[in-house]
Chains A and B, each alone.
Chain A
């Protein structure tokens, strides 16, 4: 459920960074092509295989190695949320009651190893996603025949819903039902093309060739992987998908975050994928922040994420709307923000900043439960809890062991106690947390959760509140929210192909969810870009709202 900071496909919205890709000139001599950099990640990516990669540690590199038929513009802010043609010549033609998508592959494309790209490679790539039990398989099960293909167990079987023509390059995809987010699904890296003979196995140790600015030339799990500039990519001439500027990017897996931060400070590392260690954050901001004493090389950006506590709507005490309102009123969100070392913007909204349907008003000043940046009205919350007869109710607060969640869980439990509950935190290993609280038998009353959408479409958040998704196990709707209006509206909106036409309805639905206190949102995560003095920070650090830091934008101040 929670996907991060090492979270899948984080969508980063353009609230903060005003780096100005178009900014002209540089006091440091402008961009320089070539050279090598060394960067770090705290943990090994889940996979270096487009069919399987899902966490942000993997998606940052995978995005610039495996271009799908559609992709996102390499830009910041709203522009970076725009779906553009990738390996396809144009955006899809949608027909047959929004159930058929037709695309055409660009001509003359070659993988990084020189193999020509064929239209049928798309079907093979999707088969790999389905076959390998990828976390992304869910998104492609709406393709006609995909479910039967999965249950059939034959990897080489045909998926009837995908028709390809290697001669013309035409690719036709038929869905079983309209899916308003399917264009975004086609732009996910899961749909990144790989050659038709790529085995049906996790290729992390020997990643297959792709069509992208970079190619992975070395992969030693838990130690390092190396990206080198793809010499064949320039010939592809894909508009708005830039070439690599740096020749070699070596990624080291370095678990010690403090060590990483010190290394970037001292220019031994050129970029760290995680934000700086909380312990050194003050120094980093003071020295390298926008108002720092030295040349800027650090900046924070907001992400399209919502951090919240789920409230089980089915069992006491949170089955009572009054109790849910009380905890929304009484939660001190600014206190929790301190546990993220300032890396959390307090808020009330279910949908995150930058997402269509998000409203800053409901998130901050018009939040029905009080301004999240101010102290809460604890007395009113206590009063409501007394009126609901929930005073002294025993509450188990669930949380996982991934820092800083244990501290968040304890702080939340303590706040519940201040409001009159008898709350105890229960912190369990991160590997079993979501299967445990997502199991209906656990009857988890409340606990920590966060959500980063996989693409810039509010449907990516719908599974948190959609009653239709509730099942006995692996629930993402952890609060077991089953409201008829929400369910009906989600069903209707999921069939609306034009998001801009229904943004108002998404905003109304967001207001409805916040007003109903179905869950307890407390903010939206902020992450950061922090690079060495060698990187041209002003011109070469583009933050994509979908995939965070864009490796293809990195360049050095001077060529080596």
Chain B
């Protein structure tokens, strides 16, 4: 986060739909009057070819990762965890070690087995890349959904209740916000990687994917809860809320029927950006050994392992790094497109 985050994310300035947007965006002549907000959004998004293209790229990446077992079973004939340290492969009629005596793994064969080469343990990079993508995406998407759920509840509660509830929640968010994201993630991740997690009936093994999901979800709560709170604080003072109260509606009903629909667009904008951020954080934590635990593959752990052989086998780090860049880039460009489509004047940002 930069120094400008307070203006962009925190509280109302970041999420309030300001009136200082360019006039041509505020009054698009192509927009037919009478269209609903979601149809209007879809129409705007369709016009943003770049965002759509990257959306397709992301869907293609997800599809490829979901097809990992098909590739592993039918093409590579190995699993993501299977080592081939002493195995050989025939290339151009010549028998070659998958990992040579000095530990250097084979490079891309561009064939079925070891399509992108092998890692230091003789594991098929392509298979690990796809399975690693599944893990990274699973963690990223689940963590983002978790963040949105928890952040929304806390933001609504704080913003609508105000008073002591708001104070307690806001101060808790301040404390969480005060920790650098990576530092907090590494601290929690390292502890949980040793002993797992036991919370009453909930028991998580130290290598469970739920641990990085939980860590990332919790760490990012303030990034959502604070803007939602700010927006709710503004909304609850609007006339239609007053009108709802005058009609005798209870607080819970007002929150669900009046406030929530008005923050929904913020959530939609945040979702792809949060997923991208969560994937990046997962990769960073895994790179540092505090995220997904081996032998489970993830792009972060693959990069960490690849760095040790960056000179003799650069593909080990470059391939998962490229996948990470492509995924995050596609999500960010698509997310920006969604944000522009939802409201061209909104200034919601998540910074890395």
| A contact set with B: CB distance below 8 Å | 258, 277-282, 285, 332, 334-342, 375, 401, 403-404, 406-407, 410-411, 413-415, 417, 424-429, 432, 436
When distances are taken between beta carbons in the complex, the residues of chain A under 8 Å from B309 are 278-279
Do B83 and A342 have beta carbons less than 8 Å apart? Answer: no
Do B294 and A339 have beta carbons less than 8 Å apart? Answer: no
- B55 shortest CB reach to chain A, Å: 36
Do A432 and B194 have beta carbons less than 8 Å apart? Answer: yes
When distances are taken between beta carbons in the complex, the residues of chain A under 8 Å from B82 are 414
Q: Considering only CB atoms, which chain A residue lies closest to B313 in the complex?
A: A279
- B127 shortest CB reach to chain A, Å: 14
Please judge, given known A-B contacts A279-B308, A279-B312, A414-B295, whether A428 and B85 are in contact too, CB under 8 Å.
no
- B299-321 residues with Cβ-Cβ distance < 8 A to A are 305, 308-312
Do B83 and A375 have beta carbons less than 8 Å apart? Answer: no
Do A411 and B311 have beta carbons less than 8 Å apart? Answer: no
- A114 shortest CB reach to chain B, Å: 48
Do B294 and A427 have beta carbons less than 8 Å apart? Answer: yes
Do B308 and A403 have beta carbons less than 8 Å apart? Answer: yes
Please judge, given known A-B contacts A410-B83, A411-B83, A414-B82, whether A425 and B100 are in contact too, CB under 8 Å.
no
- B270-312 residues with Cβ-Cβ distance < 8 A to A are 289, 293-295, 305, 308-312
| B contact set with A: CB distance below 8 Å | 81-83, 85-86, 99-104, 120-121, 190, 193-194, 206-207, 289, 293-295, 305, 308-312
Q: From DSSP, what is the main secondary structure of chain B's interface residues?
A: loop
List the 8 shortest-distance A-B pairs measured between CB atoms, nearest first. A335-B85, A341-B103, A414-B83, A335-B86, A279-B311, A428-B194, A342-B102, A410-B295
Question: CA A411 – CA B120 in complex, angstroms?
Answer: 10
Do A339 and B85 have beta carbons less than 8 Å apart? Answer: yes
Do B104 and A407 have beta carbons less than 8 Å apart? Answer: no
When distances are taken between beta carbons in the complex, the residues of chain A under 8 Å from B308 are 277-279, 403
Q: Considering only CB atoms, which chain B residue lies closest to A410 in the complex?
A: B295
Please judge, given known A-B contacts A375-B86, A428-B193, A429-B194, whether A282 and B102 are in contact too, CB under 8 Å.
yes
When distances are taken between beta carbons in the complex, the residues of chain A under 8 Å from B86 are 332, 334-335, 338, 375
Number of A-B contacts (CB under 8 A): 86
Do A407 and B207 have beta carbons less than 8 Å apart? Answer: no
Question: CA A404 – CA B102 in complex, angstroms?
Answer: 13
- A277 shortest CB reach to chain B, Å: 8
Do A407 and B121 have beta carbons less than 8 Å apart? Answer: yes
Question: CA A277 – CA B313 in complex, angstroms?
Answer: 13
When distances are taken between beta carbons in the complex, the residues of chain A under 8 Å from B207 are 424, 426
Q: Considering only CB atoms, which chain A residue lies closest to B105 in the complex?
A: A338
Do B104 and A282 have beta carbons less than 8 Å apart? Answer: yes
Do B206 and A426 have beta carbons less than 8 Å apart? Answer: yes
Question: CA A339 – CA B305 in complex, angstroms?
Answer: 12
- A428 shortest CB reach to chain B, Å: 5
When distances are taken between beta carbons in the complex, the residues of chain B under 8 Å from A426 are 206-207
When distances are taken between beta carbons in the complex, the residues of chain B under 8 Å from A403 are 308
- A306 shortest CB reach to chain B, Å: 21
A280-B312, A332-B86, A339-B120 are known; give 18 further A-B pairs, CB within 8 A. Answer: A258-B311, A278-B102, A278-B308, A281-B102, A338-B86, A338-B99, A338-B101, A339-B85, A339-B121, A342-B102, A406-B294, A410-B121, A411-B121, A414-B81, A414-B121, A417-B81, A424-B295, A427-B294
Question: CA A427 – CA B104 in complex, angstroms?
Answer: 23
Q: Considering only CB atoms, which chain A residue lies closest to B305 in the complex?
A: A407
27 inter-chain pairs at a CB distance below 8 angstroms, sorted by A residue, are A277-B308, A332-B85, A332-B86, A335-B83, A338-B101, A339-B103, A339-B120, A340-B103, A341-B102, A341-B103, A342-B102, A375-B86, A401-B289, A406-B294, A407-B305, A410-B121, A411-B83, A411-B85, A411-B121, A413-B295, A414-B81, A414-B295, A426-B206, A428-B193, A429-B193, A429-B289, A432-B194
When distances are taken between beta carbons in the complex, the residues of chain A under 8 Å from B101 are 337-338, 342
- B203 shortest CB reach to chain A, Å: 16
Q: Considering only CB atoms, which chain B residue lies closest to A336 in the complex?
A: B85
Question: CA A411 – CA B87 in complex, angstroms?
Answer: 13
Q: Considering only CB atoms, which chain A residue lies closest to B304 in the complex?
A: A406
Do A410 and B294 have beta carbons less than 8 Å apart? Answer: yes
When distances are taken between beta carbons in the complex, the residues of chain A under 8 Å from B102 are 278, 281-282, 285, 338, 341-342
- B211 shortest CB reach to chain A, Å: 13
Q: Considering only CB atoms, which chain B residue lies closest to A428 in the complex?
A: B194
Q: Considering only CB atoms, which chain B residue lies closest to A337 in the complex?
A: B101
When distances are taken between beta carbons in the complex, the residues of chain B under 8 Å from A401 are 289
Question: CA A505 – CA B312 in complex, angstroms?
Answer: 47
Question: CA A426 – CA B103 in complex, angstroms?
Answer: 23
When distances are taken between beta carbons in the complex, the residues of chain B under 8 Å from A277 are 308
Question: CA A428 – CA B293 in complex, angstroms?
Answer: 10
Question: CA A413 – CA B293 in complex, angstroms?
Answer: 14
When distances are taken between beta carbons in the complex, the residues of chain B under 8 Å from A404 are 120
Question: Out of A258, A285, A338, A432, which one reaches B85, CB within 8 Å?
Answer: A338
When distances are taken between beta carbons in the complex, the residues of chain B under 8 Å from A341 are 102-103
When distances are taken between beta carbons in the complex, the residues of chain A under 8 Å from B104 are 282
Do B83 and A427 have beta carbons less than 8 Å apart? Answer: no
Please judge, given known A-B contacts A338-B103, A342-B103, whether A436 and B194 are in contact too, CB under 8 Å.
yes
- A407 shortest CB reach to chain B, Å: 5
Q: Considering only CB atoms, which chain A residue lies closest to B295 in the complex?
A: A410
Q: Considering only CB atoms, which chain A residue lies closest to B83 in the complex?
A: A414
- B313 shortest CB reach to chain A, Å: 8
Question: CA A427 – CA B289 in complex, angstroms?
Answer: 9
- A255 shortest CB reach to chain B, Å: 13
Do A279 and B83 have beta carbons less than 8 Å apart? Answer: no
When distances are taken between beta carbons in the complex, the residues of chain A under 8 Å from B289 are 401, 427, 429
Question: CA A203 – CA B86 in complex, angstroms?
Answer: 48
Question: CA A428 – CA B190 in complex, angstroms?
Answer: 8
Question: CA A338 – CA B100 in complex, angstroms?
Answer: 7
- B274 shortest CB reach to chain A, Å: 29
When distances are taken between beta carbons in the complex, the residues of chain B under 8 Å from A410 are 81, 83, 121, 294-295
- A335 shortest CB reach to chain B, Å: 4
Question: CA A336 – CA B206 in complex, angstroms?
Answer: 25
- A46 shortest CB reach to chain B, Å: 22
When distances are taken between beta carbons in the complex, the residues of chain A under 8 Å from B194 are 428-429, 432, 436
When distances are taken between beta carbons in the complex, the residues of chain B under 8 Å from A282 are 102, 104, 312
When distances are taken between beta carbons in the complex, the residues of chain B under 8 Å from A339 are 85, 103, 120-121
Q: Considering only CB atoms, which chain A residue lies closest to B86 in the complex?
A: A335
When distances are taken between beta carbons in the complex, the residues of chain A under 8 Å from B310 are 258, 279
Do A425 and B295 have beta carbons less than 8 Å apart? Answer: yes
Question: CA A282 – CA B194 in complex, angstroms?
Answer: 36
Question: CA A513 – CA B319 in complex, angstroms?
Answer: 46
